[in-house]
Chains A and B, each alone.
Chain A
Amino acid sequence: MRDALERQRHILDFTIASLLRRKGKNGSLLAVYTLIIFILASVLFFTHALKREATEVLRETPEIIVQRTMTGRYQPIPLAYADRIRDIRGVITVQPRLWGYYYDGNFLANYTLVVPREDPPEPGKIDIGSGISRIREAYPGDIIGFTGHDGKPRNFSIRKILSDESQLISADLILISEADYRDFSGISADQATDLVLRVRNPKEYTTIAEKITRLLPDSRPIVRTEILRTYDAVFSWRSGLVIVIFSAAALAFVIFAWDKATGLSAEERREIGILKAVGWETSDVLQMKFWEGSAISLTAFLLGMILAYAHVFFASSFLFAPVLKGWSTLYPQFRLVPYVNFGHVAAIFFLTVVPYTVTTIVPSWRAATIDPDAVMR
C-alpha cells in the first residue's frame, strides 16, 4: 500500500512539474475551463438563491388569495365578497388586503405599498424598507413626499426602517395605514385589493377554490402551492434555458479541450516516448494523464466555484442579473443569502468535468501507447 502511494507520489510530482513547464498552453486551457465553470455556477447559484428568496416570500403568503377580474384584467374586489366567501364550509377566516405599487419617477424605482394587518403605522406615518431608505436617504423621523393618484403630493413621516433580513422581500416595502392608503390610491371604502383566506384542511384547497369560482364568477382564487410550483418551474426553467444556450459554449470548450488533448505537441510526444523508453509503462503514463486532468479540473473547478460564489453572493451578480431576474433593476445592490448544496456541485461537475474528461480519455490513451522504441527509430 505504501509502495503504491509512493509510486503515485512520484508520478504526481512529475506531472505537476511538467504542467508548470508548459504554462502557456495549460494556462489558456485553465482560463477557458474556469470561465465555463464560473458562468455555469453563477447561473445555478443565482437562480437557486432567487428561488429561495421567493419561497421565503411565499411562506408568508396566505393559502388562498381571491382576486376579482373583469374581462381578464385585475379589479379591486368589493368587501361584500368577503362575507359570501366566509359562508363556504371549511373557510376559517377571510381578510381583505390593501396593497399596490408606486412608481417614484425621481428615483426611477418601484415601491410596494402595503397596509399591514398587525401594528399598522398611525395615519401620517409610514415604515419603509432599507432599499428605499438608502436611495432616498431617508431615516426615522424624516418627512418623505409621494404623489397621490390625484397628482397632489402627500407627506409622511418615517416611523422606522424595516429590518433587512431578506432584502429582496422588504427592500422596496412601504407600510402605511389604511386611511392613508385609501386616500393615496383612491380606492373606495367598500373595496379591497384582494381577499386572503385561511382554510382548515389543506386537502380542501381545490374544492374551496372551485366553490368560490361558482359562487362569484368574476373572482379568481389563487392557491399558494400553485404559485410555489409556478415560481419554481419558472426559475428552474430559466436556468435550464440559460444552460441550454450555454451548452453551445460548453461544446466549444469540449472541442477546444479535444484539440488541446489530441494536438499533443511534438515536444510532448517525444517526452512521453522518452518516458516509455526509459522504463515507464503505459499505465504509468495513463496515471500521469489522470493526474494532469485532475489537477486542471480541480483547479478550474475550485477557482470557478469560488469566483461564482463571490460574484453571486458578494458582488450581486452584476454580470447577468438583469437577464435572469427578469425585472427592472429595482435595487442598486441586494445581497442574496449564500446557499450551495450537493446538487449544484454535482450538476456543475457533470456538466463540465465529465465532458472534459470523456474527451481526453482517448487522446491520453493514444499518447500513452506510443511504442517505447519510437524514440530510437
Chain B
Amino acid sequence: MILHPSILALFVSSLLICLMVLYSTVYGIQILRRWDIASGSESQLALERKTYLISTIVSYFLGFQLVSLFLFIFTADSICHLFVGAMCAVGTLTVNPFGYPTLLLKVVTFLLAGFWLILNHADSLGYDYPLIRTKYLLLVVMAPFILAETVIQGIYFLGLRPDIITSCCGSLFSPASRGIATEIVNAPPLPMLALFYASSGGTLLCGAWFLARGRGGGLFALLNAVQLVVALTAIISVISLYIYQMPSHHCPFCILQQEYHFVGYPVYIALFGAAICGFGAGWLSRYQGIASLAEDLPGLCRALTVVSMACTAILVAIASGYVLLTGFTLR
C-alpha cells in the first residue's frame, strides 16, 4: 500500500459511506418484510420514518460518489510515475487486476444511486408509497455493489507496490494487444463516429417524441442505455483522437487533464447525467397507470427527459466542436 493522501482519503471515506449504506440496507430489508401502509402501528410509523433516513443516506452517497469517481482517476493519474512503465491513470489501474473493476463498480454504483433517487422522488409524489417495494428491492440489489466497490478498492490499494512494472495507454489501447480495450480501440473510427451521431440523434428524436406524445418511454430508456455504451466507446475510439489531435492516442482519462482544458469533466458529467435522467424518465413511464401518481408523474417524466436531452445535446456539441473545429483529420 502507498501512503498517498488521496488514497487514504478514498479509503476512509468509502469505508464510512459503505457502512452507512449497509446500515440503511438493513432497514430497507425490514421495510420490504414488514411494510403495511394500512396500519397505524408504531412499528409501521417507525418504518415510515426510516424511509427519510435511507433517502438521505443515498442522496449523500450519490454526491460523494461523483467526487470520488473523479478523485479516483485523478489519484491514479498523479501516482502513475511510481510504477515503471505507467504514464497516466491507465498504467496505475493496470498495476493489479483490481484497478479497472473498482472504476467500473464506482460508475455502476453511481448510476444505480442516481436511478434510485429518481425512483425515490417519484415514490414520494404518490400518497400511498406506490413504488416502495421496487425502490427497496433496488436498494438491496445496489448494496452488494457498493460493498464490493469498497472491498475491491481496498484490495486494489493494498496491492499497489511501487516496483511493479505495468503497461500504459500506449500499449493497452494500442491496436497490437488483445482484450476488450483493444476491441474498443479497433472499432473503425469514422463508422464509430457515425454510430455515435446516429445513436445521439435517435435518442434525441425519441426524447422529443416522448415529450410530445407521452409515449415511447420504454424505447427512450433503452436508447439511453445504448447511448451510454456507444458514447463511451466513441469517446475512447474516436472522439479522444480529435481531442488529443493524435492519430493513435486513445485514452479515456487524459482528457480530464489540464492540457486538454479539463474537457473530460463536462463530457463525462453530461454523459452520466443523460443516462441517469433518460433511463429514469423512460422507466418511470411504466408507472403512469398508478392512480396516485397519475397527476404528478408526467411532469416529472417530462422534466427528466428535458434534462437528459439537454445533457445529450451538450455531449454532442462538445464532440462536434472538436471534430469540426480542431482541423485534425483522420484521413
Q: Which residues of A contact B (CB under 8 A)?
A: 43-44, 228-229, 232-233, 236-237, 239-241, 243-244, 247, 282-283, 286, 342-344, 346-351, 354-355, 357-358, 361-362, 364-365, 368-369
Contact = CB atoms under 8 A, between A and B. Distances in A.
Contacts of B9: 346-351
Main SS class of interface, A? helix
A328 B53 CA distance: 53
Contacts of B5: 43-44, 236, 239-240, 243, 344, 347, 351
Given A349-B67, A350-B13, A351-B8, A361 B20 contact: yes
15 contacts: A239-B5, A240-B2, A241-B3, A243-B5, A247-B8, A283-B52, A346-B70, A347-B71, A350-B9, A350-B64, A351-B8, A354-B16, A355-B16, A358-B16, A361-B57
Interface in B260-297: none
A286 B67 contact: no
Contacts, number: 101
B56 A361 contact: yes
Contact of B67 (A240, A346, A368, A369): A346
Interface residues of B, number: 32
A351 B60 contact: no
Given A232-B81, A347-B71, A355-B12, A365 B53 contact: yes
Given A233-B2, A240-B5, A350 B52 contact: no
A236 B79 contact: yes
Contacts of A241: 3
Given A236-B4, A243-B8, A346-B6, 5 more contacts: A240-B4, A347-B6, A350-B9, A350-B71, A358-B16
Interface in B42-92: 49, 52-53, 56-57, 60, 64, 67-68, 70-71, 74-75, 78-79, 81-82
Contacts of A237: 2-3
B237 to A, nearest CB: 27
A365 B52 contact: yes
B17 interface: yes
B10 interface: yes
B16 A236 contact: no
A369 B13 contact: no
Contacts of B52: 282-283, 286, 365, 368-369
| Residue from B8, B56, B82 whose CB has the most chain A CB atoms within 10 Å | B56
A361 B53 contact: yes
A237 B7 CA distance: 11
B17 A354 contact: yes
A244 B1 CA distance: 13
A255 to B, nearest CB: 14
Contacts of B49: 282, 369
Contact of A232 (B17, B53, B70, B82): B82
Contacts of A358: 16-17, 20, 60
B159 interface: no
B6 A343 contact: yes
Nearest to A364: B56
A286 B58 CA distance: 14
B31 to A, nearest CB: 15
B64 A354 contact: yes
Interface string B1-36: 011111111101100110010000000000000000
B162 interface: yes
Contacts of B57: 361
B11 to A, nearest CB: 9
A362 B64 CA distance: 17
Name the 8 nearest CB pairs between A and B, nearest first. A240-B3, A350-B9, A347-B9, A346-B71, A350-B13, A354-B13, A347-B6, A369-B49
